[in-house]
Amino acid sequence: MFEKTGVPSEKLVKSRFPNERYLNSFKAITECYEEIPCNPCETSCPFDAIEVGIDINTPPRVDFDLCTGCGICVYSCPGLAIINVMLEDDDAIFRIPYEFLPIPEVGMKVKGVNRFGEDICDGEILKVKEGKLQDKTIVLTLKIPKEYLYDFVTIRRLT
Amino acid sequence: MRKVDFVIIGGGPAGLSAAHKAAEAGLSSVVIERDDKVGGQLVKQTHMFFGSKKQYAKTRGIDIANILIGHCKAHDDLIEIMTNTTVTGLYDDYILTLLTDDVYHKIEAKAILVASGASEKFMLFENNDLPGIYGAGAVQTLMNVYGVLPGEEVVMVGSGNIGLIVSYQLLQAGVRVKMVIEAASQIGGYKVHASKIKRLGVDILTNHTVKRAIGDDTLQKVEIVEVDDQWNMIEGTEKIIECDALCISVGLSPLSTILGMLPVKMKYVGKLGGNVPVIDYHHETTMNNIFVAGDVCGVEEASSAIVEGSIAGLFIANRLGYKHPEYEKEMNDLTQQLENLRSGPFGVKTVEGLRELRGENDV
Ligand SMILES: Cc1cc2nc3c(=O)[nH]c(=O)nc-3n(C[C@H](O)[C@H](O)[C@H](O)COP(=O)(O)OP(=O)(O)OC[C@H]3O[C@@H](n4cnc5c(N)ncnc54)[C@H](O)[C@@H]3O)c2cc1C
Ligand code: SF4
Ligand code: SF4
């Protein structure tokens, strides 16, 4: 199905998540499952936590013990295929890349969207990071209910 | 007539990289570009590029163009960039005819690099000439270079990387992308691009094509139809979709027509996108001192165009007596980069195509 729709299976998605006990701080989730010639995730991580390796076509693998959740990979991936996530009480807190106008503001209520593009939950923007480093790929931090940990992927665009 | 050492036809990533490497070795060049600015396809690309650091991955296409232009400007004593100038003729005595602002002139070179890129393929269907039907390149030029929207509701044809990326750029511009249709049974481009538009609500319909366009003066609707795995239309599956723009992105073919004026050996290689010149490992055609690099010798990526241009620039400089101080090291590194880029499943087509081109399959 992935080949026909662009929606990865639940199994594929979960294969890139660490055990939930790692999620008391931000960890990088790479939604990049295919062999493509690309490696900025590896070269931009200051902690050597992402490995692509000599063959630039190998999909990235994250070492969750090395990943500090710094968030640099989120805006460095040209495929916008990396998010950060952590769990806090009943919330899942995500950092996602975002390239649309208008830019959401802190405190704003937004709709959480799944990999099919459907609205699934409510969320709240906690932080908006834009600057020279982000180079127009804004990083949004937001919280959603924990139960959508494996379903949430982005937010509904503001109009 | 003006006589120079090295003429480069086309100021895209391949041409600019060749000029830069040649200049590093001490060879002067004239880059001829028909557009009013150099950069080629890159000037329309607002997204971050793939590849590795050496080919400026994660930098936006337009910014890569500016980096490459900067490299050339740093050698402006050796590199002359001639914009608004089209190469109209290329003769076997190494003379080129050029057209600048309606004035014809001639230039003679010792070596010539053709880096003219590729042109878009189009599709045959009823009413395919209605206003509102565009190639993806035109949509990008309108939108990203001139800030003009092609329409309000678009149907995209083709799910290769270009179709997927242009769909994303249309969404960013506030256009509604109603769907992407694809005749093959699988998505053609990188899945990261497909997932990115799917989660924004755009469906990709595989095994579908356009049957006809409908509209009086401009496009109002398109009729799409399901196709089987041999691309035969399945009767009774037609659907009418309302839209005011149809964007065609069904591939590129090498813009190699100018080479037809020279006695160089050409070959049709489907895997490289069409008619391409037969070349050796240094990108020299069967005619001495006539070289090619970039999409014109096989449609690929900017990353490979940059590397190919650099290889050709180094080699040509050496041929004309200007050896780069680190020639062997640079050449090995570039050759390695090219191999690396092509080593995955998306590179197989190019590797097989090149093998076919060089006749290495004929045992
Ligand atoms: C939507 C889209 C997305 C892309 N995304 C990526 C990506 O993420 N990563 C990547 O690596 N690549 C990407 N590419 C591909 C990349 O842009 C091309 O492969 C690359 O630009 C080819 O470089 P080139 O120098 O061979 O040709 P071009 O960039 O096409 O340049 C050729 C130049 O030659 C000029 N020219 C042609 N004929 C003449 C003539 N007779 N006289 C004078 N001038 C002439 C043209 O005007 C043009 O400026 C993308 C392409 C598109 C369309
Ligand atoms: S979040 Fe930071 S440490 Fe973790 S993988 Fe990304 S760049 Fe590396
Ligand atoms: S940078 Fe992004 S698209 Fe490229 S390999 Fe890494 S995760 Fe995949």
CA closest to B342 among chain A residues = A37
How would residue A1 be classed by pLDDT, with cut points 50, 70 and 90?
confident
Task: Please state, in angstroms and as integers, the Cα–Cα distance from residue B110 to each residue in A13, B11, B95, B272, following that order.
Answer: 56, 19, 9, 28
**Between residues 3 and 42 of chain A, which touch chain B (CB distance below 8 Å)?**
3-8, 31-40
Inform me whether the pLDDT recorded for B361 exceeds 80: no
Axis-axis angle for helices B61-73, B302-319 (nearest 10): 20
> Residue A159: its pLDDT value, please?
81
**Residue A73 sits at the chain B interface (C-beta within 8 Å):** no
C-alpha distance from A66 to closest chain B C-alpha (Å):
22
Is the CB of A34 less than 8 angstroms away from the CB of B191?
Answer: yes
Question: Tokens 């900067």 — which residue?
Answer: B70
Express each pLDDT in A36-84 by its tens digit. 999 999 999 999 999 999 899 999 999 999 999 999 999 999 999 999 9
- Percent of chain A's residues with pLDDT above 70: 100
> Residue B362: its pLDDT value, please?
59
Of B50, B47, B11, nearest in space to B347 by CA? B50
Q: Can you list the domains of chain B with their CATH numbers?
A: 2-119+252-362 (3.50.50.60), 128-248 (3.50.50.60)
Atom of ligand 2 nearest to the CA of A48: 8
Ligand 1 centre distance from Cα of residue B4 (Å): 25
Ligand showing the shortest atom-to-Cα distance for residue A62: 2
Q: Is B158 left (phi over 0), alpha (psi -120 to 50) or beta?
A: left
Is the CB of A80 less than 8 angstroms away from the CB of B51?
Answer: no
Inform me whether the pLDDT recorded for B32 exceeds 70: yes
Residues of B with Cβ-Cβ distance to A44 under 8 angstroms: 58
If one counts every other C-beta atom within 10 angstroms of the C-beta of residue B301, the result is: 23
Ligand showing the shortest atom-to-Cα distance for residue A45: 2
Atom 3 of ligand 3, residue of closest alpha carbon: A79
Express each pLDDT in A77-121 by its tens digit. 999 999 999 999 999 999 999 999 999 999 999 999 999 999 999
Q: Which pairing describes strands B290-292 and B103-114: parallel, antiparallel, or unpaired?
A: parallel
Inform me whether the pLDDT recorded for B318 exceeds 60: yes
Inform me whether the pLDDT recorded for B363 exceeds 80: no
Pair A111, A145: CB distance under 8 Å: no
Atom of ligand 3 nearest to the CA of A52: 5
Q: Where are the alpha helices (DSSP H) in chain B?
A: 13-25, 61-73, 136-140, 161-172, 191-198, 302-319, 327-341, 348-357
Inform me whether the pLDDT recorded for B327 exceeds 80: yes
- Gap between the Cα atoms of B28 and B297, Å rounded: 24
Report the residue among A47, A80, A84 best suited for mutation to probe ligand 2: largest number of ligand atoms under 8 A from its CB: A47
> Residue B179: its pLDDT value, please?
98
- Gap between the Cα atoms of B206 and B182, Å rounded: 5
Average pLDDT, chain A: 96
Nearest-CB residue to B200 (from A36, A79, A117): A117
Report the residue among A48, A68, A76 best suited for mutation to probe ligand 2: largest number of ligand atoms under 8 A from its CB: A68
Mean pLDDT in residue range B109-124: 97
Residues of B with Cβ-Cβ distance to A117 under 8 angstroms: 198-202
Least confident of A130-134, B76-80, B107-111: A130-134
Residues of A with Cβ-Cβ distance to B347 under 8 angstroms: 37, 57
> Residue B360: its pLDDT value, please?
81
Inform me whether the pLDDT recorded for B49 exceeds 80: yes
> Residue A131: its pLDDT value, please?
86
> Residue B51: its pLDDT value, please?
86
> Residue B359: its pLDDT value, please?
86
Pair B294, B117: CB distance under 8 Å: yes
Q: Where are the alpha helices (DSSP H) in B89-217?
A: 136-140, 161-172, 191-198
Is the CB of B187 less than 8 angstroms away from the CB of A3?
Answer: yes
Inform me whether the pLDDT recorded for B173 exceeds 70: yes
Q: Which of A80, A98, A100 to mutate to test the interface with B (most CBs of B within 10 A)?
A: A80
Express each pLDDT in B55-74 by its tens digit. 899 999 999 999 999 999 99
Least confident of B82-96, B104-118, B317-331, B348-362: B348-362
ipTM: 0.96
Inform me whether the pLDDT recorded for B161 exceeds 80: yes
Is the CB of A36 less than 8 angstroms away from the CB of B341?
Answer: no
Least confident of A32-36, B47-51, B105-109, B305-309: B47-51
Atom of ligand 1 nearest to the CA of B15: 25
Pair B247, B162: CB distance under 8 Å: no
How would residue A133 be classed by pLDDT, with cut points 50, 70 and 90?
confident
Residues of A with Cβ-Cβ distance to B202 under 8 angstroms: 117
- Percent of chain A's residues with pLDDT above 90: 93
Atom of ligand 2 nearest to the CA of A71: 1
Is the CB of B344 less than 8 angstroms away from the CB of A153?
Answer: no
